[in-house]
Each structure stands twice: as structure tokens, then as C-alpha cells.
Amino acid sequence: MGEEGVRAGSGATPLFILSFRQRDELAALAGGAGWQVVAARRAAGVERRFLASGAAVAVIDARGALTDGLAGARMLGGAIEANGGAMLVLVSRGDHDAIGTLYEAGATHFLSSPFGETEFIQALRYAARHAARMAGEWRATGVVEPLGWRFDLAERSVLLTPAFARLLDIEEQPGRNALLRHVEPAERGSALAALRRLSPARPTTAFAHDVAGIGRVVQHLHYNAVTRRIDALIEPLGSTPEPTAELREALAGARDAGSARRWIGRRLREGGEVPLYAMLVALNRFDMINTAYGRSAGDTLLRGALKRIEDAVRDVLGREALISRLSGSSFLVAARAPRTRIELAAERIAGELARPFVAGETIAVLGCRIGVALDQAGDEAAVLLRRASEALADARDSDSATVRVAEPSGAEAPIESLAVALHHAIERGEIDILFQPQVSVSSGAIIGVEALARWEHGTLGTIGADTLFAAAARADLEIALSDHIQRITLERAATWPAALRGLRLSLNLTAGDIARPGFADLFLDRVDSSGFPRGRLTLEITESGLIEDLGIAAGLLSALRNAGCRIAIDDFGTGYSSLAYLKALPLDYLKIDKKLAQDITGTARDRIVVRGVIDMARSLGLTVIAEGVETQEQLELLAKEGCQVYQGFLCSEAVSVTALEALMLG
């Protein structure tokens, strides 16, 4: 088979083979069994070639080429899972220790050498059956990462999925007895009986039991007579009223790929006047960070990336949108929405993921590429997701476009409109400023406001500060936007009516501001020129704006504080939290992130976390401000824990000066 392979024909099932050695026997074996093979010997462009092949099964021959095989698996993992496919990896007998890593990269099946023709063809059939089940909406776990295990009868070894190992707090390769101990003694008999029922004549069975921290589960068992392995997929039937932190992570709001495909399939069958969009998001440089700093750092990055995507999607597309964590470092977002909102969501996600992450003691800058597709008449979920995967492959191949949209005509278009339009919006003065009240918990009086930028876009509607600055960063307009907002905010606050003249004004500084030479003098001149008193000004810095150079940040904030301003650290608890910031910086206020503040009405564990943050801040002499307070219950619990100031919809959304004056007088 040549390097470019053969395009799958309509008369046979396509099969994609990636082999890094001059081995044609695999193609010959598969071709003899009726498969139409598309073969490749390089990892470059492998994702695009797999998608173009039309195959549902990919074979990666990693025998004697484990590093190349792992790289290929990572490149294909997101496309395999998004499209409901299967990945069979061939490994040398001495490379069994790498199976867990290959599994994390997206592999679904393994075959160890030496093997014969019959074993290889049988392994292909099992992989194809898996792909058919996925396409037929077989999975129903609804978890971000699969909960399950594999038992190799030949080697008498057990391998747990990472999520299940974390949940049970045991190693991924425990002894058999260690796993059995997590089945209640009264139910071990039924578990062992289910295992004994498995045979070549009866390869599948199931049994139910309780697991501490999850509740009732069903274990679906499958026996592979060729590989002599038992695979178990665990389906939670319910959870305890107060699940563990590990379970909340495993059963997070994001769906798994199979559940996501079913959701998309239902929406396509239901139809609607508004188109359904599928968006695939792939992190850049994740494998490099994961390799350099280890799996723990990689897991932290993935959790942080998922949270940023969730926050962006909920803000722009609402809670009806679907969010799914795929294998590797890829994510899926789907929603029925006008194209303008989808473009806005893509911009927001790209901006959020471009901000630095913390990996151990190191700052990681990842970024992403995004592929988007909209539904067409007669689409099924697999077809829509394949088009999104092709758009993502185009975005990855592009030197400049972060986002690609697969147009109905088949052409892909980059999304650049928001960043370009922002430049004109600044010039025309279209960016407006609203003020959200900050309220004393003890007295109920409005004591200050936070200035928040808004842009009423002609087609995209209202665009908030987070999306504005994300677009500005991509268009290299972050400093220009920050200068514009600071200038107009100070000018307006200096001319407030009498009812507002006792309020403190909170103004956000960006990472770009902190890094600018001479910014303290420049900013103070701007304040004095406006006429607004320094003593009533609070400058808010997000942790993401501090982490790149803590020394520079500390020097700048000290200069501003000595000049009469007060300093707040914003969004504390969003994943960057470090005691180093609280120890090194001259702070007056600590603002608890809205998600953390809202969690106080959750479990006892949530309340303990919030209490710990408040106690730590107050012991350092900081005033604690809670953001995003929406209910009286949240406020009462925050007050009980010692929070002194709050802002959120419970009092008011961000409003104009006229509406703010009415609130004060009322």
C-alpha cells in the first residue's frame, strides 16, 4: 500500500492504518478479510487523513515505535471519540506499561505481539463492533471520563481507568483483591458469579452492587476470548445525597462523548428554526506540558480548561448548551443558537484558553484551535461531528486562524469579525460603562461600585468585559481597550451626582497594564486629570494578571497603594489561588469568585472551602467581598462565615449612572 493509501470505496468497510515501519502485512491481512485500507506511515496530517478516509476504526502499529505510536494516538484521540470510532493499538510485549498512557490518549483496544492473522482480524472485528455500538448510542454512563477496569487473564493483572482509580483512591494497577474489597462483602458472591458466567459462548453479562461515594452501580462485563481480557464499564444508577469531591469531578456537568452524540442526535431529529452547531475545541501544546510536568499537572490544566469553557459557554449560550470532555485535550460544545452567538462563544472560549494556566510551579500558556459546523438537512450526529472535526483539522493546519467554520458549501471560514470590529468600536466610542453596586453585609447600604465595560454590538448583541478583552488580546488591542475604559470610567465617576459622591469606585487593571513600563505614573496622571479622588479608588487585579511576574506586580501595586489607592485581588478561587500572592502583594480586599461564593449553599465540603478562604483573608487583615450573590440564602451563609461586602443580582445587576442614583435614593 502506498504512502497516500487508497480512498475507501463504497463496496467495503474503510479501515485506517498508521504504521511507522515498512510493514505491509497488516494492510494485506485486513484487505483479505474484506476491509478497504487507507494506510499512512507518518503522523503528519494524520487527523485529516483519518477523517477523509471515512473509516470508523483506526489501527496504530506501535510495535517497535512506541513514541511515534503514542504521538499518533494523541493526534487521533479527539477525532476518534468525537465521531464514535475505535482505535486499535498494536504494542510489543515489552511495552505493556504504556497501555495506560495509550488508553488516556484515546485508544480503545489493544493487541500485543506476537499475534497471528486470526487474532488480528478478530481484534479488528471487536473494534468495529465497538464503533458500531458507539454510533448506535450504546453508551449511557453520562460521565466525563469512563469508570471501568480491565482484567488480563493471561497476566493476572488489573488496570483501572484514571477516573475510577481516583474515585476509589487506589492505584490504576492494583491487585485483584484490592479491587474486590470495594464490593460490599454481601455482594461479592454475585460479583464472582458474574465473572464465572463469562465464556466464549457468553461473552457479556452484568451485575449490580453498591460503591461507597457513588451508590448503586451496574458493572457491564465483556469477555474477549482472543485477548483473554475482561472489560468492565461501570454505570452509576444514583449517588449519595452528598457525593465525594472525587465523584463530583468524575460526574461533572460535562457529558461524555457517547452521551453528547445522543444529545446531538435527538436535537437533529427534533429539528428547529435555529440551526444546531457543533464546536470542537482542542488545546495547543498540552502534550508538551503533560510530558514536561507530569500527569498531575496535566489533569489540573484539563480541569481548569473545562471550567473556563463552561463559564464562557454558560455566559454566551446559556445553560441549554451541551459541553463534553473528549479524550486527550479536546472538548465538544453544541447548541442551537444564531451564528452570531456561536461566533461570540468561540471568541470567548479562545480568549479564555489563551490566558495563562498554572502547572505546578510553572506558568503554562496553551491557547486552542476550534472547528465549528452547523447542521444541514438530513444530518446525523456522526456527519455533523465529522464536519466539525474537518474544520478543526483545518484550523490546526492554519498559521493564523484560531477558529474555522465548515460552511454549508464545504468551504471553511475563519472567525475574525469581532476582533476587527473592536478597533472601530473603540474609535467610535461604542464601549459603554455600567456600575454594579457593592453592598455592606452588616448595614445593607451601597458603599461602592465596580465599573464593568459593555459593548452593544449591532448583530452580536451585548458583549461583556471578558469577551471584549479576549477579542482585544487576539487583535493586539488590549492596552488600547484598557486605556479607553479607564479614561471614560474616571471621567464619568468624577461628574457623579451628589448621591453617588461617597461611593468607592473599583476599576480593573489587566496583565498588560502591569507589564507596561512606567504604568504607575501614567495611571496616576490619568486619575488626577479626571478629578476623581485617589482615596476613593480601588484597583482590582485578577490572579491571572499577576502570575507572570509577581515581583513586577508587587512593585507596581505598592506604588499605587502608597499614592492613596486601595488594591483588591479579584476572582480568588478560580484555579490560580496561591498563598504567595497573599503574602507578597500589598492587598486591602479579597474578592471571592462568584462560583465559589454560590457554592456555599451546596455541600458541607463546599462551605468548608469558602469558610477557609474567608478566614485566611480576614486573618491577613483583608476585607472580603463576595461576587455573584443571587439569593438571600447565599448572603446569609456568607455573612455567617464573616464576609463583609457583596455584589450580585440580589442587589442589582450592572446599571447606568441614572439607575444607580435611583438605587441610592431608594
pLDDT tens profile 125-149: 888 888 877 665 433 333 335 677 8
Q: Per mean pLDDT, which range of 226-230, 325-329, 647-651 is the poorest? A: 325-329
CA dist., res. 83 & res. 86, Å (int): 9
Q: 364, 391, 414: which is the final residue of a domain?
A: 414
Other CB atoms within 10 Å distance of the CB of residue 199: 10
Q: What is the pLDDT of residue 475?
A: 67
Domain match, 239 and 168 both: yes
Determine, yes or no, domain membership for 362.
yes
Determine, yes or no, domain membership for 349.
yes
3-class state of residue 594 by DSSP: helix
Contacts of 526-534 with CB under 8 Å at 24 or more apart are: 526/486, 526/487, 526/490, 527/490, 527/565, 530/487, 530/490, 530/491, 530/493, 530/494, 531/494, 532/490, 532/493, 532/494, 532/505, 533/564, 534/563, 534/564, 534/565
Q: State yes or no: pLDDT of 278 exceeds 90.
A: yes
Q: Per mean pLDDT, which range of 130-139, 293-302, 513-522, 633-642 is the poorest? A: 130-139
Determine, yes or no, domain membership for 93.
yes
DSSP state, residue 634: H
Q: Which residue has the cell 500572592?
A: 581
Could you read off the pLDDT of 65-107 as tens digits, one per residue? Answer: 888 898 899 888 888 877 778 899 998 888 877 887 888 788 8
DSSP state, residue 319: T
Domain match, 439 and 552 both: yes
Q: 228, 248, 268: which is the final residue of a domain?
A: 248
Q: 354, 389, 414: which is the final residue of a domain?
A: 414
Determine, yes or no, domain membership for 435.
yes
Residue 602 is placed in which grid cell? 451546596
Domain match, 482 and 602 both: yes
CA dist., res. 470 & res. 467, Å (int): 5
Mean pLDDT, range 398-414, rounded to an integer: 64
Q: Per mean pLDDT, which range of 5-19, 122-136, 231-245, 638-652 is the poorest? A: 231-245
Residue 278 is placed in which grid cell? 457543533
CA dist., res. 540 & res. 456, Å (int): 24
Residue 95 CB burial class (10 angstroms; 0-12, 13-18, ≥19): buried
DSSP state, residue 294: -
Looking at per-residue pLDDT, the higher value among 545 and 628 belongs to: 628
Question: What whole-number percentage of the chain has pLDDT above 90?
Answer: 22
Cβ proximity of 538 and 507 under 8 Å: yes
Domain match, 390 and 532 both: no
Could you read off the pLDDT of 433-454 as tens digits, one per residue? Answer: 999 999 999 999 999 999 999 8
Beta-carbon contacts of 383 under 8 Å, excluding residues fewer than 6 positions away, are none
Q: What is the CATH number of the domain that holds 196?
A: 3.30.450.20
Cβ proximity of 230 and 238 under 8 Å: no
Q: What is the CATH number of the domain that holds 512?
A: 3.20.20.450
Q: State yes or no: pLDDT of 6 exceeds 60.
A: no
Domain match, 385 and 451 both: no
Determine, yes or no, domain membership for 647.
yes
Q: State yes or no: pLDDT of 502 exceeds 50.
A: yes
pLDDT interval class at 251 (50, 70, 90): very low
476: domain range?
A: 420-665
Domain match, 485 and 446 both: yes
Q: What is the CATH number of the domain that holds 71?
A: 3.40.50.2300
3-class state of residue 134 by DSSP: helix
Determine, yes or no, domain membership for 91.
yes
The CA angle 283-288-293, to the nearest 5 degrees, is 110
Determine, yes or no, domain membership for 140.
no
Cβ proximity of 151 and 158 under 8 Å: yes
Q: What is the pLDDT of residue 579?
A: 65
Domain match, 648 and 505 both: yes
Q: What is the CATH number of the domain that holds 385?
A: 3.30.70.270
Domain match, 487 and 621 both: yes
Mean pLDDT, range 26-34, rounded to an integer: 80
Domain match, 446 and 541 both: yes
**Strand 357-359 with 330-336, pairing:** unpaired
Looking at per-residue pLDDT, the higher value among 180 and 309 belongs to: 309
pLDDT interval class at 665 (50, 70, 90): confident
From the centroid of its chain, how far is CA 607? 24
Q: State yes or no: pLDDT of 556 exceeds 50.
A: yes
* DSSP-assigned beta bridge partners for residue 219: 207, 234
Domain match, 122 and 198 both: no
Determine, yes or no, domain membership for 63.
yes
pLDDT interval class at 213 (50, 70, 90): low
On the CB side of 156, how many CA atoms lie within 13 Å of its CA? 3
CA dist., res. 430 & res. 389, Å (int): 36
Average per-residue pLDDT for the chain: 80
Domain match, 217 and 100 both: no
On the CB side of 485, how many CA atoms lie within 13 Å of its CA? 28
From the centroid of its chain, how far is CA 352? 10
Question: Which amino acid is it at 203?
Answer: P
Q: For the chain, how many structural domains are there in total?
A: 4
Domain match, 490 and 384 both: no
